[in-house]
Structure 1
């Protein structure tokens, strides 16, 4: 792999940073500042806008920087976007674990995106400095990716990425927090004292997991390009629009049951690519006497084709899988029941959630008998659904719910 360095002027860097900051500020003032629940149409439209901006930027790189630089950008962006979708699974767990009202989830997600941009920028420059100083860092990055791929294949969910990781346990121990939310405020008054709300804790959780995600994503993209500018912009454009994508894919995330296998294949592929590149530029004394090793390197074009191909196969296989469909319906029913019972307080939205729950139960009844039998054996789920129906009947009797159509 012949290393190509893209020379970027300070003016281009400044304009890029201003443009990305402007998009974040626009997102806050026009979408997030007023707490609301994005409609599917709104989420789809703005997701398309951000994807379009990323593609337009890539075309600009292709025209001004040449075919190789354009291929490196798109390979990096597609990989980072796929990893960001995987991150949405963890965000979903965190937001549900902390029982964040849906109208307030946008603020948490935008904070996570901004924090991730800042943290990953630091990791990017640190990674670039290490690569420029130590060629053996490619061995380390390759090993990290191979280990991560192995963990994904085994289905291991690190406790550090759960809603009860060490960052949250430390925060709960040393910070005085309220029992409930006060809108989207970070502070409230409880028993005459100013205390933190759980909103701050969930932001800490999102920020902590973002740092851990960077340990996978930054080595992965450096395996596709060593241009700091391309690494930064591909990472930034993969994160912009992630909030809208969350609300767009909320009902489909659980359907992508083979995504982790696809990501494992991609990370392992990039890990091998990094190690081959490290061998090609080897100066480690105990490998080939410190001399470069004549090995075949994987081109960026082949990498891009492989990444897109694996993702396409993974998504299609997931969408066609009866198991994936059953898993989607079960997860959606559980999520809606929990939100109806323990999270949402707006009566109008509670009633909407309940009707969504009824729709999911209809989907469950449409599944083949072997899947319905497995679902009936999930005592916790069945009791949760029964409790949701009981509470709805009690609220209707007390006049606490509105009546809306499905």
Structure 2
């Protein structure tokens, strides 16, 4: 499988990710446990988006975007941008599930930042492995692209039909597994993952939340990773666009968590994006959809659903918020 990822580009990418994570960890530890404000979330979101655009520009320049034959540079830059947009959009679904977790476990606002940071770091490692495996499988078996395409269409239809339905945490298999293997403390102990209760060492609810964030992100990756392979099969572009989308996920959570009800139609838009990309993958050997069409189609669908969400009010809202239960009472039980 051909790739523009030279040893130098891979090294620079790895160095950037490590430095970015260290800066993020340093800033988090310096600030300590605190509730993230909308202003802080907006600033960090802009920083991550700017870093992603800067990396795309570097790839474009490195591949000869300013030279006499910029075709390859232009194509790879568009692939990165389209993949980044698709992964960023699909990450919105992750955000709503994270909100469900924090509500269910009544996670104090000042602890949510640490939980997201650790959970997303775990997800980065796991996603990286899944992407490399996916790239190898596609290189060996071309027909897998059709499986991915059909899966995306199926997932999009399923997402459309499930839009607006209340999530059921009690039937979540990951939560059932955690409860089976861990004895969970009824209370939080600051930002600690383990505490002592009645003389026994127990896992705190914060550890459970962190584990579930990592697991749930990998589950969502089963949808999003095939989507990025529909845009490009270049492992370097696939991995970098995916990682940059995840790096800004924590800031985007705090930016959008309070506005989830305003974007009530967005799940329908995400469903259409998956069907659109899945269809594109199914047609790959019949007609190769230009990358500009993929970018324009994805951006148009998302923009339209956001606008309609702002114009059309939701039919009903639960009096306790997005989820039909009292998280504090359930945790105390």
Query: Taking structure 1 as the reference length, what is the TM-score of the superposition?
Result: 0.74
1:28 maps to which of 25, 28, 37: 25
Taking the aligned partners of 2:249 and 2:151, their CA distance within structure 1 comes to 25
Taking the aligned partners of 2:193 and 2:184, their CA distance within structure 1 comes to 10
Is 1:308 matched with 2:283? no
* Cα offset, 1:338, TM superposition: 5.8
Is 1:186 matched with 2:177? no
Aligned position for 1:49:
47
Q: How does 1:196-207 map to 2 (within 5 A)?
A: 196-207=203-214
Higher relative contact order (CA 8 A, sep 6+): 2
Is 1:257 matched with 2:267? no
Pick the structure with greater CA Rg: 1
Taking the aligned partners of 2:298 and 2:134, their CA distance within structure 1 comes to 22
Taking the aligned partners of 1:193 and 1:25, their CA distance within structure 2 comes to 34
SS of alignment partner, residue 196 of structure 2: strand
Kept after mapping to 1: 8 A contact 2:95/2:253: yes
* Cα offset, 1:59, TM superposition: 2.0
Aligned position for 2:69:
none
Kept after mapping to 1: 8 A contact 2:96/2:257: no
Taking the aligned partners of 1:170 and 1:231, their CA distance within structure 2 comes to 31
Taking the aligned partners of 1:14 and 1:162, their CA distance within structure 2 comes to 41
Aligned position for 2:9:
12
Kept after mapping to 2: 8 A contact 1:276/1:297: yes
* Cα offset, 1:207, TM superposition: 1.4
* Cα offset, 1:22, TM superposition: 1.7
Aligned position for 1:274:
281
Kept after mapping to 2: 8 A contact 1:163/1:205: no
Kept after mapping to 2: 8 A contact 1:159/1:165: no
Taking the aligned partners of 1:152 and 1:241, their CA distance within structure 2 comes to 24
* Cα offset, 1:112, TM superposition: 1.9
SS of alignment partner, residue 315 of structure 1: helix
Per-residue displacement from partner, 1:116-135 (whole Å, max 9, x unpaired)? 11111011001000011001
Taking the aligned partners of 1:157 and 1:216, their CA distance within structure 2 comes to 19
Aligned position for 2:66:
none
Kept after mapping to 1: 8 A contact 2:104/2:326: no
Taking the aligned partners of 1:202 and 1:128, their CA distance within structure 2 comes to 30
1:126 maps to which of 121, 127, 133: 133
Taking the aligned partners of 1:331 and 1:62, their CA distance within structure 2 comes to 48
Is 1:71 matched with 2:69? no
Kept after mapping to 2: 8 A contact 1:160/1:166: no
What runs of 5+ residues in structure 1 fail to find an aligned partner?
Answer: 281-294, 344-406
Structure 1 pair 331–260 and aligned structure 2 pair: CA distance change class (3 A): farther
Aligned position for 1:352:
none
Q: Name the count of aligned residue pairs.
A: 319
Aligned position for 1:317:
308
Per-residue displacement from partner, 1:66-110 (whole Å, max 9, x unpaired)? 111111000000000001112100000011111111100111111
* Cα offset, 1:159, TM superposition: 10
* Cα offset, 1:342, TM superposition: 6.1
Q: Which runs of 4+ in 1 moved over 3 A?
A: 156-164, 329-332
Per-residue displacement from partner, 1:332-390 (whole Å, max 9, x unpaired)? 5x78x968x769xxxxxxxxxxxxxxxxxxxxxxxxxxxxxxxxxxxxxxxxxxxxxxx
SS of alignment partner, residue 301 of structure 2: helix
Taking the aligned partners of 2:220 and 2:207, their CA distance within structure 1 comes to 20
Aligned position for 1:89:
96
Kept after mapping to 2: 8 A contact 1:93/1:163: no
2:251 maps to which of 225, 244, 248: 244
What runs of 5+ residues in structure 2 fail to find an aligned partner?
Answer: 64-72
- Greater alpha carbon shift after TM alignment, 35-44 vs 151-160: 151-160
Q: How does 1:98-177 map to 2 (within 5 A)?
A: 98-155=105-162, 162=169, 164-177=171-184
Aligned position for 2:228:
221
Taking the aligned partners of 1:88 and 1:109, their CA distance within structure 2 comes to 10
Query: Taking structure 2 as the reference length, what is the TM-score of the superposition?
Result: 0.89
1:38 maps to which of 36, 44, 47: 36
